[in-house]
Structure 1
Amino acid sequence: MNTNWGAFTTAEPELAKTVEERFATYTHHVLATLRKDGAPRTTGLEVRFLNGELWLGMMPDSLKALDLRRDPRFALQANPGSGTDMGGGDVRISGRAIEAEDEDEEARRRYTEEVEPPEPFHLFRTELTEVVRTYVEDETYLVLQVWKPGEPVRTLRRA
């Protein structure tokens, strides 16, 4: 099942809003991709939520872009910030990154109007496979909210 950010927002608007706000707190986040040998690679990345999509923009021929071209699986972790204040909790998005090719000119044009990236650049739209939010409730419980396409949010509490 292919699910973009807009479909997730429609299915789970409250969680989607919390996740977007968490990503908006900081500019740079951590992207995990898979190297050619299967080992993980983590790198910094800016993300954009535009027009119902979660976009990943990258410098030309960056290693993370080459990783995603070879194997589109990714995990994206919101920047936790400094200290212990993690307002909104810790959030992670997993999925597949699909490169917006030249024939997808309209999507690239709308993205560049909003973001004004350096040219040339790689642009990937995302298909979500999981969204996870972790936070502390009442200084007692560790709470995990887990969403997967086609399923309602599952909430787990651990003391």
Structure 2
Amino acid sequence: MTTWSAFVEEAPRVAEIFTRRHRAAGNLCMLGTLRSDGFPRISPIEPRVFEGMLVIAGMPGTTKFRDLARDPRFCLHTATVDTNVSDGDAKLFGTVVDLPDKEVHARFAQKLFDDSGFDIRGQEFDHFYIADLTGASTVEVVVDHLDITIWKPGAGERVVRKH
């Protein structure tokens, strides 16, 4: 399993761009899942890095979590409204694992409250998904070209330059 911590070690540039764009958008990302009919679904989500894991958790009973329960594959894209992508862009790919550990849930809820004031302490999680990352990419505009950085587990980062 490639946790967030392992990903940051293997792909520091991609992780930095993802983190910067994630923060710049107020933690908002777009989550791609597969609907029951096989078509893609795009949903807003606010993933969090917690205890070395990328947590994809949220409001219970939503269709995006039903999608992930049925098919754990996902794509997570940093939100942007900049058509020039001047601050970069990042996508993460992987599968989710449902972590049923109530102690981790309680620590996560406390950290969320401490960071944002949003209080879900004491509530049960329907799903507490942890990302197992299987790939990632970024796009950066560099004066007269694009740098596309691609990462796969165990292969490090490679840059493709487009003019």
Establish whether TM, by shorter chain, passes 0.5: yes
Q: Quick one: distance in 1 between partners of 2:22 and 2:86?
A: 11
Report the AA paired with residue 5 of structure 1.
W
Instruction: Report the equivalent of 1:75.
Output: 75
Instruction: Report the equivalent of 1:90.
Output: 89
Contact 1:80 1:86 survives alignment (8 Å): no
Instruction: Report the equivalent of 1:126.
Output: 131
Report 1:91-110 matches (<5 A). Answer: 91-101=90-100, 104-110=101-107
Q: What whole-Å deviation, never above 9, does each CA across 1:128-159 have from its counterpart, x for those lacking one?
A: 01111101112x11110000101010100011
RMSD: 1.6
Is 1:149 aligned to 2:141, yes or no? Answer: no
Percent of aligned pairs with the same amino acid: 31
Q: Quick one: distance in 2 between partners of 1:48 and 1:90?
A: 18
Q: Quick one: distance in 2 between partners of 1:83 and 1:31?
A: 19
User: What are structure 2's unaligned runs of at least 5 residues?
Assistant: 114-118
Q: Calculate the TM-score normalised by the size of structure 2.
A: 0.87
Q: Quick one: distance in 1 between partners of 2:84 and 2:94?
A: 28
Q: Quick one: distance in 2 between partners of 1:155 and 1:34?
A: 29
Report 1:2-151 matches (<5 A). Answer: 2-27=1-26, 28-82=28-82, 84=84, 86-87=86-87, 89-101=88-100, 104-116=101-113, 118=120, 119-121=123-125, 122-138=127-143, 140-151=144-155
Q: What whole-Å deviation, never above 9, does each CA across 1:105-144 have from its counterpart, x for those lacking one?
A: 2221221111145434432110001111101112x11110
